């Protein structure tokens, strides 16, 4: 549900948001350090509790991971990736959730006015009341985050606990984290913290360490420290996520071109009617075939330029 006290920077299917630009709000971001995550799932529990989400049935499939992937009732999931890196087995935990892109593909794809909004603090929120359940946001999102609920017919995802952050609290997951691998603050501070941590990791020999803040979507308001940032795919993260070109084309140039073509065709036909009027056949008194033009059958252009 959109938060009343926050100004909206951009809104789905709307020409613009309503920022009054009277206040200056910095982007607020979540910091995730995957290298200090111990996979305790306290954040999962906190998320379920704060957002009043009933838990979902789980199945033992030989992994520590709670469920295979995000779920309309499960917005925060620790992925337990088991991968081999340079001959060594590694257990790479990653907190999977909405990345709160600066350029959100879900919002761009959404046809329902106000169903997806981005506040001036950068948080991307959903408004179930406006959501029409078309699932186009799923195609717009490069991170495969939005989940459609068959139960409600609406989309659901992490809200970055905007109902907490707007009153000065940190998100529930951050509050619950026992190792301090989660932090919350301005984007600037979180990026600085991330870079510090990356430098530390590099000094310890992790040459591929880095901060995942992909520029293809304008950066994200969830910045993630990765030990192997040179290979984000092993964490289940796209290497260079962007809003799909087809979505940008459909919602951008193609959409304007289509509208112009339809309006142009209608106007053109009005012009045609004014210029040529109705097509009226010659009245023939008898039932005999027309003796008049065109004398020769199948000479379509025989009578050109006689309309003036």
165 by Cβ neighbours in 10 Å (0-12 / 13-18 / 19+) ranks as buried
Least Å distance between CB 106 and other proteins?
Answer: 13
Q: Which is nearer to other proteins, 40 or 134 (CB)?
A: 134
91 binds other proteins, rule: CB under 8 A: no
- SS3 labels along 86-132: CCEEEEEEEEECCCCECCCHHHHHCCCCCCEEEECCCCEEECCCCCC
255 binds other proteins, rule: CB under 8 A: yes
236 binds other proteins, rule: CB under 8 A: no
Q: In whole angstroms, give the CA distance from residue 108 to residue 97.
A: 19
Interface of this chain with other proteins, residues 122 to 151, rule: CB under 8 A:
132-136, 138-139, 144, 148
* Binding string, residues 2-31; x marks residues near other proteins by CB under 8 A: -----------xxx----------------
Q: In whole angstroms, give the CA distance from residue 140 to residue 63.
A: 30
**5 within 8 A of 166, measured Cβ to Cβ:** yes
195 binds other proteins, rule: CB under 8 A: no
Number of residues that bind other proteins (CB under 8 A): 55
The verdict on whether omega for the bond into residue 180 sits within 30 degrees of 0, i.e. cis, is no
294 binds other proteins, rule: CB under 8 A: yes
Q: Which of 207, 160, 167 is nearest to 187 (CA)?
A: 160
**Site of interaction with other proteins (CB under 8 A):** 13-15, 111-113, 132-136, 138-139, 144, 148, 244, 246-247, 249-250, 254-255, 257-259, 261-262, 265-266, 269, 272-273, 276, 278-284, 287-290, 293-294, 297-298, 300-304, 306-307
């Amino acid at each position: 549900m959109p938060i009343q006290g926050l100004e909206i920077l951009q809104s789905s299917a709307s020409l613009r948001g309503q920022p009054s630009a009277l206040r200056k709000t910095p982007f607020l971001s979540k910091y995730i350090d995957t290298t200090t995550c111990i996979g305790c799932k306290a954040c999962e529990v906190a998320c379920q509790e704060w957002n009043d989400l009933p838990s979902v049935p789980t199945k033992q499939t030989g992994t520590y991971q709670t469920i295979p992937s995000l779920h309309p009732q499960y917005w925060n999931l620790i992925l337990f990736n088991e991968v081999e890196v340079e001959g060594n087995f590694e257990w790479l935990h990653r907190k999977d959730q909405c990345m709160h892109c600066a350029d959100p593909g879900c919002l761009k794809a959404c046809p329902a006015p106000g169903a997806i909004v981005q506040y001036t603090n950068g948080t991307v929120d959903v408004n179930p009341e406006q959501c029409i359940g078309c699932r186009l946001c799923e195609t717009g999102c490069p991170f495969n985050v939005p989940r459609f609920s068959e139960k409600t017919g609406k989309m659901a995802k992490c809200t970055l606990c905007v109902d907490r952050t707007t009153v000065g609290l940190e998100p529930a997951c951050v509050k619950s984290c026992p190792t301090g691998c989660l932090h919350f603050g301005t984007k600037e501070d979180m990026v600085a913290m991330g870079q510090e941590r990356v430098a530390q990791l590099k000094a310890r020999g992790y040459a591929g360490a880095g901060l995942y803040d992909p520029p293809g979507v304008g950066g994200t308001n969830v910045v993630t420290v990765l030990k192997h940032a040179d290979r984000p795919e092993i964490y289940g993260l796209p290497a260079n996520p962007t809003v799909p070109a087809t979505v940008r084309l459909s919602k951008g140039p193609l959409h304007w071109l289509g509208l112009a073509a339809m309006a142009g065709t209608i106007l053109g036909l009005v012009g045609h009617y004014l210029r040529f009027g109705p097509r009226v056949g010659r009245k023939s008194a008898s039932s005999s075939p027309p003796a008049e033009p065109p004398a020769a059958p199948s000479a379509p252009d025989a009578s050109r330029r006689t309309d003036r």
